[in-house]
A and B are shown apart, each in its own frame.
Chain A
Amino acid sequence: MRWGHRFRRKEVEASAAGTLAGVPEGADAVVRGVAAGSGLVQRLQALGLTPGTPVRVLSNSGARPLIVEVRGSRLALGLGMARRIQVEHDDRHGPTDR
C-alpha cells in the first residue's frame, strides 16, 4: 500500500469538491444545502448557515477545521462538517485576499 496515502488524499479532494471544504482560503461561496440530519441542520441554522447565505473562508488548510465568516460572525467548522455543506463557489476567480 505504498500509494495508499496519496490515493486517500485524492479521494478526500474529490469528496470536498462542491462543498465548503473545497473552497480555498480567502474565497467566497454561497451555501446551497446541508447533507445532515435535522439536528445538525438546525444547529447550523442557529449559527447562521442557511441555504443562500454567503460565507467567506478565512482559513482552510485541508487538514484542520475551517474558519469561516458568516453573517458577521466567525465560526470554526470541523472538516467532516464542512464536507457536508454544499456550496456554490466560482473558482475561476480563485482566492481573493492572498
Chain B
Amino acid sequence: MMIATALPTGEECPTGLAPIRVALAGNPNVGKTTLFNSLTGLHQHVGNWPGKTVERAEGSCRCQDRSLAVVDLPGTYSLTSHTAEEVIARDYILRERPDVVVVVLDAANLERNCYLLAQVLELTDRVVVALNMLDLARSRGYDISPERMAKALGVPVVPLVASRGEGREELLAAVLGVACGSIQTHPSPINYLQAKPTLRELEHLLAGRRLQGYPASWVALKLLEGDAEVSRLVEAEVRPGLAEQIRDLLAQHEHEPAVLADARYAWIAGVLAAAMARPARSVVTLTDRLDHLFTHRYLGLPLLFAIFLGMFAATFRLAAPLTGLIDYGMAALASWTAAHLHWAPAWLSGLISAGLIPGVGGVLAFAPIILLFFVFLGALEESGYSARAAFVVDRLMHALGLHGKAFLPLLLGYGCNVPGIMAARILENRRDRLLCILVNSLIPCPARVAVAAFLVGAFFPVALQPVIMGGLYLLSLLMVLAAGFALRKLALPGEQSPLMMELPLYRLPSLRNLGLLTWWRLVAFLRKAGTVIVAASVLIWALSTFPTGHGPEGTWLAGLGRVLAPVAGLIGLDWRMAVALVTGFVGKEMSLAALGVLYHADGQALATALQHQITPLVALVFVVVQLLYVPCLATVAVIRSETGSWKWTAVAVAYPLLLAGGLGALIYWGGRALGLG
C-alpha cells in the first residue's frame, strides 16, 4: 500500500512511555466508527461525555510496541458551537490536546468533507488524514491521488477501506510518525483574504490574554465568525474596555464571516485541483436508483410503512420466544429458590423469590425487545435509509412542531418507549429533543396495549373490540398531537427548526459495527434502568406482602389503595384499580397481575370476576387511564438520564397523569350523564 509520506522507522519512538493519545474526527457517515472498531477491536469502552447525552467511545490498540489511546469524537460537519457534538469535538482537540488528530474523510464526498478538515487544521497541525471509501469514490468516477493530496495538504494521507480493515497498519504507522516527530506536518495555510487585517487586529487585541488556554489566532477566527460560546468567553476574560473595542471592530466588519467560509472552500478547491480528477459526466449510481424509489412522491410513504411494519413484526416475532424463555427461567429460578430456602425466615425467602428474582426478570424481559430494536435501528441508520424516512415524513411531523428526524424516536415508542426516548438523541437542538421525549410518554407501548386488549376483550362484544382498540390508538395519537401543541405553547416555545440533513450514500451495514453498537447501548440501558427497576420491584413486593397475616386486603399496598380511593373514585375506579395503577408504574403488564391478586382470580376467571364487580363504563375508564397515565419506571429512568433534568422528568410524569385523569373523568361523567354504567 502507498503511504503519502515517509514511513517512520519505528526506532525513533522510545517505548514504554505514556500511551499516544489519538482522536478520530470526521463527518457523520464516513466510516469513522468502523475505523474505530477496526483499530481498537474489543478493547473499547462506550459511555457518555460528562454531562452530555452524546456517546463517548474510547479504546486502545498497540503498534510497534507503543500503546495508543483512541477517542472517537462525535461525527460533525463543522466545529462551530451550535450542537453539543461540535462543542465536544472542538473542546477535546483544543483542551485535551491529543497527540494526533485523525480526520476521516469520505473520498466519495471529498469537497464537503474537507470543510471539517480545514477547521481542524485551524486548531492543530498534528493531523493525519484517513481517506476512506476510495473504492466507492472510484466507482463514482473520481480519480483521487493520496500522494498528491498529501503534498497539497502538507499532512500524511492514508487510503483506507475501513470496512475491510485495509490500510489500518499504514494509518497507525503515520499516526506514530506524527506523534513521535519522525513525520513533520506543514499544513498548507488557508488564505483568509479580505478578513486577514481584521483577524490580525483581533489577534493583536487578544495577545497576552488568558482565554482559558485557547490560542489567540483561533479565538480571533471564532470571534469574527460570531461564535456565541467564544464571544461569551472573551467577554468574561478581558476587561470591559477591551471587550468594547472588540465589539466595535467586529461591528465594522460584519460582512466578513462569509469570507471565512469562502476562504476555506477556496483552500479546498486548491487541494482538490491538485489531487482529484472529476468524471466528465456524473455516473448513475445505486444511490440514485434507490433514492428514486425510497423518496418517490407516491411510493415513498407506503414503502416506509412496509419497512417499519416489517421491523416491528420481526422484533416481536423474534423477541417473543426469548422473552418467554427468560420468564420461564426466572419463574423456575424463583420456585427453586423458594423451595430451597425453607430454612430461612419467610420474609427472606419471599424477598429473594418474590421480590428480587422477578425484579431482575422484569429487567431482563426488556432486553430482547430493546436489543432487537437497537439492531434494526442501527441497520437503518448505517444503511442510509433513516435519513430518507425523515425526508418522507417531514411534512407529517410539522403537525407536532418537529421535523422529519423526530419520526423515528416517536415511531419506536410504539414498540417500547425506552429505545424511542433514547433515539431522540438524533435531534440537534434541545427544544426538539425535549418535545420528542415528552410526547413519547403518551405513546402506548405493547404492554399498555396488552392490558387494554384484555379488558376490552372481557367487557365488550367481539364485533366492537377492533373498533374500540382502533379508537384507543386514535385517541392516543390525538393526545400526542394535543400535548405537542400545548407543550409548544406553554413550556417549549421557539421556532420549529428547519430540516437540513445529508442524505448519505446507501451502503450495507457492517455486522461488527451493529454488534458493538447494540451491545454498548444495551449495557447502558441495563445499567441505568436495571437498578431502578429491581429496587422498585422489591419495594412493590414489600408493600404488597407486609404486614402479613391479613390477606391481600390487609397490606400496605391495599392501605395505599384506600388512601387513593377517594381520588380514584372521582373517575369511578375502586381502591383495587388504584392499586393496579400504582403497580403498573413498575411495569405496565404488572397492573393485570395486581388485579389478579386483588380479585383472587387469573386469566379468564379474572375477566369473569371483573364483569361481576365493575361496569363496562368503569372498565373503559380504567383502560383509557392506564393507556396514558404515566410512563413506566424504566422509561422514567431513561427520561431522567436523557434529559439530565429532574424538572423535565417530573413534567414527563405529571402531565400524562393529569391528562389521563381528565380524560377518565370526562368519559366517566359523560357516560353517566348519557345513562351508561
Chain A interface residues (CB < 8 Å from chain B): 38-48, 50-53, 58-59, 61, 63-65, 67, 70-78, 80-81
Contacts and interface: CB of A to CB of B under 8 A. Distances in A.
Given A42-B80, A48-B112, A76 B391 contact: yes
Contacts of B287: 74
Contacts of A81: 498-500
Q: Main SS of the interface on chain A?
A: mixed
Contacts of A80: 496, 498
Nearest to B86: A46
Given A43-B82, A67-B391, A74 B110 contact: no
Contact of A76 (B258, B262, B387): B387
Contact of B112 (A38, A71, A77): A71
16 contacts: A40-B498, A41-B257, A42-B80, A45-B261, A48-B115, A50-B261, A50-B265, A51-B262, A65-B404, A67-B291, A67-B391, A75-B501, A76-B394, A77-B500, A78-B498, A78-B499
Interface of B: 77-78, 80, 82, 108-112, 115-116, 225-226, 257-258, 261-262, 265, 287, 291, 295, 297, 387, 390-392, 394-395, 403-404, 496, 498-504
B500 A43 contact: yes
A71 to B, nearest CB: 4
B226 A73 contact: no
A74 B262 contact: no
Contact of A47 (B226, B262, B391, B502): B502
Nearest to A84: B498
B109 A72 contact: yes
B112 A51 contact: no
B391 A64 contact: yes
Contacts of A59: 295
A72 B113 CA distance: 10
A29 B404 CA distance: 25
Question: 3 closest Cβ contacts across the A-B interface?
Answer: A46-B78, A78-B499, A81-B498
Given A72-B110, A77-B498, A78-B498, A46 B503 contact: no
A58 to B, nearest CB: 8
A41 B256 CA distance: 13
Given A64-B391, A64-B395, A51 B501 contact: no
Contacts of B78: 42-43, 45-46
Contacts of B80: 39, 42-43, 46
B498 A48 contact: no
B395 A76 contact: no
B77 A47 contact: yes
Nearest to B388: A76
Given A40-B498, A47-B77, A67-B291, 18 more contacts: A38-B225, A42-B82, A43-B500, A45-B258, A46-B80, A50-B262, A51-B258, A53-B265, A65-B404, A65-B499, A67-B295, A67-B503, A72-B111, A73-B109, A76-B404, A76-B500, A80-B496, A80-B498
A41 B390 CA distance: 22
A38 B230 CA distance: 14
Contact of B503 (A43, A61, A71, A76): A76
A71 B111 contact: yes
Contacts of A67: 291, 295, 391, 503
Contact of B502 (A38, A58, A73, A78): A73
Q: Which of A61, A67, A71, A75 has the most CB of B within 10 A?
A: A71
B500 A78 contact: yes
Contact of A42 (B109, B225, B295, B395): B225
A52 B503 CA distance: 22
B82 to A, nearest CB: 5
Contacts of B258: 41, 45, 50-51
A39 B391 CA distance: 22
Nearest to A82: B498
A45 B262 CA distance: 9
B515 to A, nearest CB: 28
Contacts of B261: 42, 45, 50
A71 B453 CA distance: 53
B391 A65 contact: yes
A74 B77 contact: no
